[in-house]
């Protein structure tokens, strides 16, 4: 294997001893500018700034107003207990149920009314009378709605449009990039996003009755139930809306994303791209969902294309993470939506904050199909991190999973035996979380 210069390079990766695993409980951050600290005190060393509604995993019982947690990526620290919650709302549209959960345990189950015409479709625009699907939060609490005939005894507006819906609106040119970025910032900070776009607005959980469908996209409960629910939640409470119970169970499975990512990787083996000098540049591409010529690629393009199969646009995700959290990325580089996601060092920094991380020394034993693996190929470019691939479901002669990747200039996309060998060296191993963690 030749050690040729690549576009794919990134910075130092820390290690943890345990293989990647999914969160065992539902805890999430409530509030803007919440800080993970090294010690359980307000002046403890700042480890990381967290977004509103970001998932964390408790590591010990709370004590003295602080909770020890780990974030996606494995970093461990302390958060104020007031900035955490494990109470959340789940909506199952097909079953017409709204459930209140504590961790994974249902503590209240309410009957729900939706739109009589388009209840099971995901919302895309103003006037389609659909209830949006995905992860949201309660962005506005109204104890005494002005329009009691419409909203009943209580009203709680959710954070629609989500970032995913806003990206779709930007791609369809329903508004400009500046307006889109304002929505992204509002969501990350736990505020009510723009309610004046062509995507529609004012999606609420409210009263007024649930005996039959009657809303224009909102979620209606009986007045007694909305009063009960209102008193059990707070501003910022997580809301997850699913098309059906089956979809909720499917997305909660450990391999919910991995199977789709693997399918996206293997699809590229049928029409393999070539690693070219053109691909090593920074051609002008669209935003979001931009791509260079499909016939060309560097190693990061294989990842970006595979992940889009499951509805995750790493171009937008990495670029926006750089804009909102510049401290996570290399200093001195200005964000550039054409190339941010195509540099492995940026993918690495993104994955450190948004994926589950394992010990690269154990990857040959712990890798599962659909995982991402990073390598040191010996390039002298100031960092040992310069290549990335997707764990295949095919094994080599040694019984270790192969890796779908594109190796270097002149090569095509292929499945190669790269893990468990003296060269290249595995330096990073990541696994996907819940699909909604990337919306």
DSSP per-residue codes, 204-250? EEE-S--SS---SS-EE--HHHHHHHHTT--TT-EEEEES-HHHHHH
Domain contains 13: no
Q: The pTM is what?
A: 0.91
User: Measured between alpha carbons, how far is 51 from 28 in angstroms, rounded to an integer?
Assistant: 10
Domain contains 168: yes
Domain contains 266: yes
Q: Which of 335, 350, 355 is nearest to 181 (CA)?
A: 335
Instruction: Yes or no: say if 221 and 232 are a contact pair by the CB < 8 Å rule.
Output: no
Here the CATH number for the domain that contains residue 70 is 2.30.30.40
Domain contains 287: yes
Q: Which residues contact 379 (CB under 8 A, 6 or more apart)?
A: 3, 4, 5, 6, 9, 386
Same domain, 286 and 214: no
Same domain, 136 and 167: yes
From 248, 274, 302, the end of a domain falls on 248
Same domain, 264 and 230: no
Same domain, 271 and 305: yes
Same domain, 297 and 419: yes
Domain contains 360: yes
Domain contains 100: yes
Same domain, 175 and 240: yes
Same domain, 237 and 271: no
Q: With both helix axes pointing from N to C terminus, report the angle between 177-188 and 163-171 in degrees, rounded to the nearest 10.
A: 170
Tokens encoding 2: 């030749």
Element (H, E) at 300: helix 299-308
Is the sign of the CA dihedral 114, 116, 122, 126 positive or negative? negative
Here the CATH number for the domain that contains residue 268 is 3.90.1720.10
Q: State residue 422's pLDDT score.
A: 92
Total count of domains within the chain = 3
User: Measured between alpha carbons, how far is 44 from 42 in angstroms, rounded to an integer?
Assistant: 6
Count CB atoms within 10 A of the CB of residue 258.
21
From 221, 248, 275, the end of a domain falls on 248
pLDDT in single tens digits along all 439 residues of the chain? 444 444 443 333 334 344 444 444 579 999 998 999 999 999 999 999 999 999 999 999 999 999 999 998 889 999 999 999 999 999 999 999 999 999 999 999 999 999 998 889 999 999 999 999 999 999 999 999 999 989 999 999 999 999 999 999 999 999 999 999 999 999 999 999 999 999 999 999 999 999 999 999 999 999 999 999 999 999 999 999 999 999 999 999 988 999 999 999 999 999 999 999 999 999 999 999 999 999 999 999 999 999 999 999 999 999 999 999 999 998 888 899 999 999 999 999 999 999 999 999 999 999 999 999 999 998 876 677 799 999 999 999 999 999 999 999 999 999 999 999 999 999 999 999 999 998 8
Instruction: Yes or no: say if 94 and 118 are a contact pair by the CB < 8 Å rule.
Output: no
Same domain, 156 and 226: yes
Q: Which residues contact 206 (CB under 8 A, 6 or more apart)?
A: 145, 150, 151, 152, 154, 155, 156, 218, 219, 220, 221, 226
From 82, 98, 125, the end of a domain falls on 82
Tracing tokens 């995905």 back to the chain, one arrives at 134
Domain contains 332: yes
State the residue range of the domain holding 381.
Answer: 258-438
User: Measured between alpha carbons, how far is 328 from 107 in angstroms, rounded to an integer?
Assistant: 38
Same domain, 219 and 293: no
User: Measured between alpha carbons, how far is 115 from 128 in angstroms, rounded to an integer?
Assistant: 10
Domain contains 130: yes
Same domain, 236 and 358: no
8-state DSSP, 193: P
Q: State residue 15's pLDDT score.
A: 40
Same domain, 225 and 175: yes
User: Measured between alpha carbons, how far is 280 from 150 in angstroms, rounded to an integer?
Assistant: 57
Instruction: Yes or no: say if 222 and 153 are a contact pair by the CB < 8 Å rule.
Output: no
Task: Report the chain's C-alpha Rg in angstroms.
Answer: 23
Same domain, 78 and 91: no
Q: State residue 332's pLDDT score.
A: 80
Q: CB burial class (10 A; 0-12, 13-18, 19+) of residue 206?
A: buried
Q: State residue 382's pLDDT score.
A: 64
The whole-angstrom distance between residue 225's C-alpha and the CA centroid of its chain comes to 31
């Amino acid at each position: 294997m030749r050690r040729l210069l690549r576009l794919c390079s990134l910075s130092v990766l820390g290690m943890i001893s345990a293989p990647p695993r999914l969160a065992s409980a539902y805890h999430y951050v409530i509030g803007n500018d919440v800080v993970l600290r090294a010690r359980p005190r307000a002046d403890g060393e700042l480890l990381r700034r967290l977004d509103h509604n970001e998932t964390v995993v408790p590591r010990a019982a709370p004590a003295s107003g602080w909770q020890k947690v780990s974030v996606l990526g494995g970093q461990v620290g302390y958060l104020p207990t007031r900035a955490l919650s494990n109470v959340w709302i789940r909506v199952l549209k097909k079953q017409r149920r709204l459930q209140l959960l504590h961790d994974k345990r249902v503590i209240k189950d309410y009957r729900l009314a939706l739109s009589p015409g388009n209840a099971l479709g995901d919302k895309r625009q103003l006037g389609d009378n659909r209830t949006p699907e995905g992860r949201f939060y309660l962005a506005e609490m109204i104890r005494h709605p002005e329009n009691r005939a419409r909203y009943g005894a209580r009203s709680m507006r959710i954070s629609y449009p989500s970032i995913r819906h806003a990206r779709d609106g930007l791609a369809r040119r329903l508004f400009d990039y500046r307006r889109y970025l304002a929505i992204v910032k509002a969501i990350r900070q736990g505020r009510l996003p723009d309610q004046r776009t062509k995507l529609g607005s004012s999606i609420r959980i409210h009263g007024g009755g649930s005996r039959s469908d009657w809303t224009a996209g909102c979620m209606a409960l009986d007045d007694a139930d909305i009063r009960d629910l209102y008193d059990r939640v707070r501003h910022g409470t997580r809301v997850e809306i699913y098309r059906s119970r089956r979809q909720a169970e499917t997305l909660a499975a450990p391999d919910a994303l991995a199977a789709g990512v693997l399918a996206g990787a293997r699809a590229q083996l049928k029409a393999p791209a070539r690693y070219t000098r053109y691909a090593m540049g920074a051609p002008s591409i669209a935003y979001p969902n931009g791509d260079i010529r499909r016939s060309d690629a560097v190693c990061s393009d294989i990842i970006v294309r595979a992940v889009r199969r499951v509805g995750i646009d790493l171009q937008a995700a990495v670029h926006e993470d750089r804009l909102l959290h510049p401290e996570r990325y290399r200093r001195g580089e200005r964000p550039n939506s054409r190339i941010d996601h195509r540099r492995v060092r940026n993918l690495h920094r993104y994955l450190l904050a948004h994926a589950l991380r394992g010990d690269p020394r154990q990857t040959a034993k712990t890798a599962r199909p659909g995982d991402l693996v990073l390598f040191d190929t010996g390039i002298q470019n100031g960092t040992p991190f310069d290549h990335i691939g997707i764990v295949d479901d095919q094994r080599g002669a040694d019984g270790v999973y192969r890796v779908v990747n594109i190796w270097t200039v002149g090569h095509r996309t292929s499945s190669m035996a790269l893990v468990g060998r003296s060269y290249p060296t595995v330096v990073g191993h990541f696994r996907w979380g819940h699909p909604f963690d990337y919306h």
